Every structure is written in structure tokens, then in C-alpha cells.
């Protein structure tokens, strides 16, 4: 509480039933904060920066828990910007922000009207676009050095066909078990690790 006051944040002590009401009966761990809606980053502005070299494109993720987990992955592996479509996709909702465990405050998220157009913009800026989908190459067989954009898709349907058609190559995580694929956040973590391992 002292740190919040030193930062100029107004703090009030409330009874537990009042905190319950403010949190809409959700999980709050005894703390509720009133914050303004998170602003989205400018896609074109970020892509123009010379130091930007790792873009994560998230196509039509609808589960805010998954999106929050992906933001944690993006923060952990130093993704420069996470790009999401404006429609048919979860955005920076309160649930996604909470699931990100604070990562949403550090990761730039850009919302675009058309992912295919955004991919073409990236290509003109020298990016190679890699789609996480079936029947692709192993991650360790691909050269991820240079400017990279990684595309991950919807939890059930994967990457939409019109987005997949704009990608340069497909990357597939080899599976050894009985289940055919990883959760999208887990798959994103594996692929982001490999991209950053090679870039470093």
C-alpha cells in the first residue's frame, strides 16, 4: 500500500463485502483496482522501427485465458508486438489482462482490421512469415534469424485459410505422444523459444 501511495495512486481500505461487489464476485485476492482501458499500439509505427524483428500474429483466438497466457509468453521471449484482428478475436479484456499476470502492461498489442494486409506490410518490410500449422517443417530445421513474424491460430480451427495463404512457410512442432497437438499458448511458447534462441 505504501508503494501505491508513493506513486500517487489513491488507496482506500474497504470491507470484504464491498471488495466482492466491486470485483463482480470474481476472484480478487483482497485487492481491486480501477484502471482505464488499455490502449492498442500502432502497428505501422512499430513495424517501421529498425529494432523491431519479432512479431507474433494471433489469428482469431477467442479464449481470454489463452490470450492472456500468450501475452505472458510474448513478454517472456521479448516479442516486439502481438498483432490481433479487430473482429472475431478476444482483445485486451479484463479476463485476458488478469490471465497475463501483468504481461499486458509490458507487451505491445496492435489491433488491425485485416491480418492478410498486415502480413503483406510485414513482407514489404523484410519479414519472413511462418504459420504454425500441420504438415510443416520442424522448428529446428528453419532459419529464424532476421525479421520474423510467427502466426498462431484459433484454438479449434487453427489459422484461417485466407491468412495462411499469405504466409511464406509452415512450421509444425513434432509430437511423440498420443495427443495430436498442444494448447495454442503452449505451442506459441515452444515456437517463440526457438525463434529467440536462434536470433540470440
Give the per-residue pLDDT at 35: 63
Maximum separation of any 2 CA atoms in the chain, in Å: 57
Q: How far apart are CA 126 and CA 105, in angstroms?
A: 28
Q: How far apart are CA 130 and CA 67, in angstroms?
A: 19
- Give me the half-sphere count of Cα atoms (radius 13 Å) on the Cβ side of residue 46: 24
Q: How far apart are CA 99 and CA 66, in angstroms?
A: 8
CA–centroid distance for 178 within its chain: 27
Give the per-residue pLDDT at 27: 72
Cell numbers found for residue 46: 512499430
Please give the DSSP secondary-structure letter assigned to residue 77: T
Cell numbers found for residue 65: 485465458
Q: Where are the domains of the chain?
A: 1-34, 43-199
Give the per-residue pLDDT at 25: 63
Give the per-residue pLDDT at 13: 84
- Give me the half-sphere count of Cα atoms (radius 13 Å) on the Cβ side of residue 142: 25
Give the per-residue pLDDT at 10: 79
Give the per-residue pLDDT at 31: 79
Tell me if 125 sits within 8 A of 131, measured CB to CB.
Answer: no
**Which residues of the chain are modeled with pLDDT < 50?**
none
Give how far Cα 12 sits from Cα of 2, 25, 70, 80, 126, Å: 12, 19, 33, 36, 51
Q: What is the pTM of this model?
A: 0.82
Superfamily of domain 43-199: SPOUT methyltransferase, trefoil knot domain (3.40.1280.10)
Amino acid at each position: 500500500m505504501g508503494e501505491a501511495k508513493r506513486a500517487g495512486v489513491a488507496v482506500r481500505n474497504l470491507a470484504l463485502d464491498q471488495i466482492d461487489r466491486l470485483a463482480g464476485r470474481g476472484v480478487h485476492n483482497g485487492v481491486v483496482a480501477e484502471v482505464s482501458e488499455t490502449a492498442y499500439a500502432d502497428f505501422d509505427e512499430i513495424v517501421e522501427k529498425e529494432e523491431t524483428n519479432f512479431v507474433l500474429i494471433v489469428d482469431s483466438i477467442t479464449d481470454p485465458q489463452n490470450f492472456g497466457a500468450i501475452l505472458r509468453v510474448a513478454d517472456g521471449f521479448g516479442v516486439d508486438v502481438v498483432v490481433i484482428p479487430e473482429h472475431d478475436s478476444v482483445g485486451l479484456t479484463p479476463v485476458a489482462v488478469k490471465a497475463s499476470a501483468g504481461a499486458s502492461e509490458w507487451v505491445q498489442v496492435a489491433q488491425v482490421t485485416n491480418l492478410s494486409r498486415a502480413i503483406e506490410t510485414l513482407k514489404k518490410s523484410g519479414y519472413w512469415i511462418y504459420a504454425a500449422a500441420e504438415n510443416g517443417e520442424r522448428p529446428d530445421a528453419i532459419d529464424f534469424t532476421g525479421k520474423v513474424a510467427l502466426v498462431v491460430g484459433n484454438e479449434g480451427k487453427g489459422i484461417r485459410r485466407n491468412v495462411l495463404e499469405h504466409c511464406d512457410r509452415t512450421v509444425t512442432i513434432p509430437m511423440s505422444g498420443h495427443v495430436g497437438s498442444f494448447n495454442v499458448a503452449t505451442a506459441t511458447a515452444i515456437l517463440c523459444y526457438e525463434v529467440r534462441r536462434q536470433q540470440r
